[in-house]
Amino acid sequence: MKIGILSSGGDCPGINATIRGVGKTAMNYYGMDVIGICDGFEGLLNKEFISLDDKALSGLLSLGGTILGTSREKPFKKLLDKTDDTKPQLIIENYKKLDLDCLVCIGGNGTQKTANKVSQLGLNVIGIPKTIDNDVYGTDVTFGFYSAVDIATEAIDRLHSTASSHKRVMVIELMGHKAGWITLYAGMAGGADVILLPELGCDIAKVNKAILNRSKKDKPYSIVAVGEGLELEGSGGKNVRPASRLSKLIEEGTGLETRETILGYVQRGGSPSAFDRNLATRLGGHAAELIAKGQFGRMVSMINDQIISVPLEKVAGKLRLVTPDHDLIAQGKRMGISFGV
């Protein structure tokens, strides 16, 4: 058999470890030929690829980014009201020209949605969930998430010392789009005093009350962790970051000096954590197993620490978000942490 591997969407720690997991298992255990498609679906449209062998896969386990490159090309996206069948047809043609038996798609929600549509064209596809946001439906965790949490936690740790020294309120904005997973996990691990999640919303009066209560207890500084997808009333425009708006509202409402930090893309870069390396290896290996068994149109996932697979059609277009009854939220509230609601 011959398989192609591509990575699509944003970069993320662990993609290379996944490519390695798929490739080495496919070649060494199942005797398959493996190629890497360059720059996501854009490379499939342009028939750009590289050959992957043991040498090419060496040294990938700890390497950040993706050796295949990536793009946000969405071949099934319609322009206005016009239907363009050119790209889907080109995918079919190039899949056949490359003599592929299966296409492995490593990516987040958008990639899995596209992978499902490729599968509906009649091609053999396996999806592997990837995103630091941890919001892919059908799996308990995506590789890249815990690496991002480690980086965000270290950033919060460092803010404690400067906030304490200057007796300030420090607002740190973390990535995740509409999902608050990084904010919740890093906020709790980093000892944030206020954790604001997009899923829960925010009552600024309650946030200010929590900060003032700390001040009255002779706790002269506070750390506020906020998800980038949090929507605030009167945000002052689309381009105003939640951290910027929050810092102003907190300073106005409490009279305490407040500063903001937007951590940004540093959360997506660098080497994957040990957990993510092992998760990527397990997911990659299971993907090769599914191909060998002829079980296509599925996404590998981890449920209750077991590597399984789910139909792509049940994953496409859905988000996995933090629920109000999450155990970390419940425990945080018991400890006096404010969630702004």
Q: SS3 for the chain, per residue?
A: CEEEEEECCCCCCCHHHHHHHHHHHHHHCCCCEEEEECCHHHHHHHCCEEEECHHHHCCCCCCCCCCCCCCCCCCCCCECCECCCHHHHHHHHHHHHCCCCEEEEEECHHHHHHHHHHHHCCCCEEEEEECCCCCECCCCCCECHHHHHHHHHHHHHHHHHHHHHHCCEEEEEECCCCCCHHHHHHHHHCCCCEEECCCCCCCHHHHHHHHHHHHHCCCCCEEEEEECCCCCCCCCCCCCCHHHHHHHHHHHHHCCCEEEEECHHHHCCCCCCHHHHHHHHHHHHHHHHHHHHCCCCEEEEEECCEEEEEEHHHHCCCECCCCCCCHHHHHHHHCCCECCC
Residue 76's closest CA among 66, 64, 63, 85? Answer: 85
What residues contact residue 203 under an 8 Å CB cut-off, 6+ apart?
340, 341
Question: Which residues are identified as catalytic?
Answer: 133
C-alpha 32, offset from chain centre: 29
Residue 77's CB: how many other CB atoms inside 10 A? 10
